Amino acid sequence: MKKIINLSLGIWMTFSVIAQVPVPASSQNQPILLVGGVAHIGNGEVIQNSLIGFDKGKITLVNESSNNVTDSSGFKVIDITGKHVYPGFILPNSQIGLQEVSSIRAMSDMDERGEMNPNVRSVISYNTDSEFIPTFRFNGILVAETTPVGGRISGTSSVMEMEGWNWEDAAHTVDIGIHMNWPSKMNRKFDYNTYTAKMEPNKKYDGSIASLKELFKDALAYGTKLNPSVNLKLAALQGLFNGNLILFIHAGTSKEIIESVLFTKEIGVQKMVLISGSALLNIVGFLREHDIGVIIPPTHSMPSRVDEDVYGPYKLPSQLFEAGLTVSLSHRGMLAHGRNLPFFAGTAAAYGLDKEEALKMITSNTAKLLGIDDRLGTLMIGKDATLFVSEGDALDFRTNILSHAFISGKQVTLNNKQQELYQRFSKKYGHID
């Protein structure tokens, strides 16, 4: 008990000492025109000398500045000559806002107990005061899918803006999909007798699939009942059958991917996206045939097998692109590192992918796979004015230096606690660069 009191006191004291996260911006109150920047549209196109205008949170103008006489009156004009403008980067399959300090149980709200939790919803747990959020914006990530984890069905995810007074404020698209963790077919076992690894069938595999099947069949039947007694879990699954929700399938090996996709088709789910890694490479034909988009792990990962090409993770995006798949890049592991998403794309570009294609993997492709491409992912008229300006190439560590970022037209603060601490101690040592 004493420990708990100490801990909560600690948290309180901390927040009283350091600054809060930056104050959320107010909504766009005047049209803004970005003039002269290199516009990376997010669909593969680049406009060298661009005009990007937006008003009331929506993009109203995308053009070349040289061959167009645009009336800039009424616009607040921002000259970004020599700089680059990008659609806001989108981080899929993240636990942003659900978890703060991972080592502390009290600070984690991402993994509900139980196996089948389609009814738990990440949106209501999204903490707009998370200290991570401003640091993600700092690198150009302006939107994220915040996603529950664990169990067989982890829960329902939502697309969130990286800014807001509260979760209702920050919600971009509520309840976009349900995340399912497909079981492993085989277990790896080390045999100390012969010093070799052995693959053994997972005895629980069939049982796990049977219980998934039962759940989905029950949900289908539930949907056809006229006056069912309410079942929160079955109700939460209904959107999968009418295309309102996407089923995100987390599957490890090639065979698990095939079985999970065929399973998903069989039970009548309308939309699905795969979340998997290098195992995708062996079955690209299958994935093309079924027209399934994929969300893949960060390029800054270790190869998944000892025998795999050391640069395998760097090459995976380009290999899957060559195979004709719609690919989106994501992050795994330490939450803080999610902010490196742009650089995952940068590495993909260094290993065989055209840079604008790499950009698509963190913008338009991701928007498409999350079902939000009507509003996000490219710099196009009518879409959300969620975009940012960088001094240089935003996919490069050295030149990803943001000067302006807008989320639905609101100009958001880029500096955060880290810059404040930098300035604070610069005062101590008497230098600031």
Partner 1 sequence: MRLRGLIILIGLLLVNIQVFSQETVTPNDVHDERVHDYAFINAHLFVDYQTEIKNATLLIKEGKVIQMGANLTAPLDYILVDLKGKYIYPSLIDLHTHYGLPKAALAKSRGFTGAEQMLTKTPGAYNANEAIKSDFDASEVFNNNEKTATIFRKIGFGSVLSFRADGIARGTSTFTTLGDNPNKNILIQNAAAHYSLNKGTSKQYYPGSTMGYISLLRQTYLDAAWYGQFNPRPFLDQSLEAWIAGQNLPQFFDAGGWINVLRADKVGDEFDIQYVIKSGGDTYKRIEEIKATGATLIAPINFPEAYDVDDPIDALSVSLADMKHWELAPSNLARLEAAGINFAITSDGLTKKSNFLNQMRKAIDHGLSESTALKALTHTPAKLIQIDDQLGSLRPDMLANFIITSGKLFDEKTIIYENWVQGKAYRFQSLSTEDYQGKYTLTLDNKDYQMTITGAAGSEKAQLILNDSVTHEIKSALTATLAAFSFPLNKKTIRLSGWRTDSGWKGTGQLADGKWIQWNSTRTSDLDPKQEKKKLTTPPTDALGPVIFPFVAFGNETHPQQHTLLIKNTTVWTNETMGILEDTDVLLKEGKISEIGKNLQDPSALVIDGRGKHLTSGIIDEHSHIGGGGNDRATNSSMVRIGDQLNSEDINIYRALAGGVTAVQVLHGSANPVGGQSALIKLRWGVAPDDLKIKNADGYIKFALGENVKRSRNPSSTRFPQTRMGVEQVYMDGFTQALAYDKVWSVYDELPKKSKINIHQPRRDLVDEAMMEIINKERFITCHSYVQSEINMLMKVAEQFNFNINTFTHILEGYKVADKMKAHGAGASTFSDWWNYKWEVRYAIPYNACYHVH
Which residues contribute to the site for partner 1 (CB under 8 A)? 10, 14, 18, 100-104, 131-132, 186, 188, 191-197, 199, 253-255, 282-283, 302-303, 305-307, 310-311, 334-337, 418, 421-422, 425, 428-429, 431, 433
Distance in angstroms (rounded) separating the CA atoms of residues 386 and 137: 11
**67 versus 196: smaller Cβ distance to partner 1:** 196
Q: How many CB atoms lie within 10 A of CB 104?
A: 11
Distance in angstroms (rounded) separating the CA atoms of residues 122 and 141: 19
User: Residue 130 CB, nearest distance to partner 1 (Å)?
Assistant: 9
**101 versus 210: smaller Cβ distance to partner 1:** 101
**291 versus 433: smaller Cβ distance to partner 1:** 433
Classify residue 179 by its DSSP letter. Answer: E
Both tokens of residue 271?
A: 């939309």
Q: Phi-psi region for residue 383, left (φ > 0), alpha (ψ -120 to 50) or beta?
A: beta
**69 versus 430: smaller Cβ distance to partner 1:** 430
**63: Cα separation from own chain's centroid:** 28
User: Residue 89 CB, nearest distance to partner 1 (Å)?
Assistant: 17
User: Residue 335 CB, nearest distance to partner 1 (Å)?
Assistant: 7
**317 versus 338: smaller Cβ distance to partner 1:** 338
Q: How many residues does the chain have?
A: 433
User: Residue 197 CB, nearest distance to partner 1 (Å)?
Assistant: 6
**12 versus 422: smaller Cβ distance to partner 1:** 422
User: Residue 326 CB, nearest distance to partner 1 (Å)?
Assistant: 23
User: Residue 146 CB, nearest distance to partner 1 (Å)?
Assistant: 16
**45 versus 206: smaller Cβ distance to partner 1:** 206
Give φ, ψ of 148 to 5 degrees.
Answer: -70, 160
Classify residue 150 by its DSSP letter. Answer: S
**10 versus 382: smaller Cβ distance to partner 1:** 10
> Cβ distance 112 to 120 under 8 Å?
yes
User: Residue 18 CB, nearest distance to partner 1 (Å)?
Assistant: 8
User: Residue 167 CB, nearest distance to partner 1 (Å)?
Assistant: 20
Give φ, ψ of 198 to 5 degrees.
Answer: -130, 140
C-alpha dist (Å) from residue 60 to 33, 348, 371, 385: 9, 32, 22, 9
User: Residue 76 CB, nearest distance to partner 1 (Å)?
Assistant: 32
Give φ, ψ of 358 to 5 degrees.
Answer: -60, -40
Burial 192-211 (b: 16+ CB within 10 A, else e): eeeeeeeeeeeeebeebbee
**85 versus 133: smaller Cβ distance to partner 1:** 133
> Cβ distance 332 to 321 under 8 Å?
no
User: Residue 114 CB, nearest distance to partner 1 (Å)?
Assistant: 22
Burial class (CB in 10 A: 0-12, 13-18, 19+), 60: middle
**237 versus 335: smaller Cβ distance to partner 1:** 335
C-alpha dist (Å) from residue 56 to 30, 60, 143, 353, 425: 7, 9, 18, 35, 39
User: Residue 94 CB, nearest distance to partner 1 (Å)?
Assistant: 14
Classify residue 111 by its DSSP letter. Answer: -
**230 versus 334: smaller Cβ distance to partner 1:** 334
Helices (H), 229-336: 232-237, 239-242, 254-266, 284-289, 312-322
Both tokens of residue 260?
A: 């999970």
3-class secondary structure, 9: helix
